[in-house]
Amino acid sequence: MSAQQAAEILSDTLQEVAERRTTLRRAVVVSRLALALARTIEVVDLNARIEFLEQMLKKRK
């Protein structure tokens, strides 16, 4: 899942709350999960970048 997909899920959930098709409790759970997912995506992306930079530095030596 990508950050874009997480944003779409949040958007859909907000729309469902506005239309009273879901509860606020469910929306809170979805938002917490989406936040955790976004943080995980960021950490994975940063780790990949760091690994790439470390490999480039090793090649320079």
Mean of per-residue pLDDT scores for the chain: 92
Do residues 56 and 39 touch, judged by C-beta distance below 8 A? no
State residue 23's pLDDT score. Answer: 93
Residues of the chain with pLDDT > 70: what percent? Answer: 100
With a cut of 80, say whether residue 18 has pLDDT above it. Answer: yes
pLDDT in tens, 44-57: 999 999 999 999 99
Structural domain containing residue 20: 3-60
With a cut of 90, say whether residue 2 has pLDDT above it. Answer: no
8-16: long-range contacts, CB 8 A cutoff, minimum separation 24: 9/34, 10/34
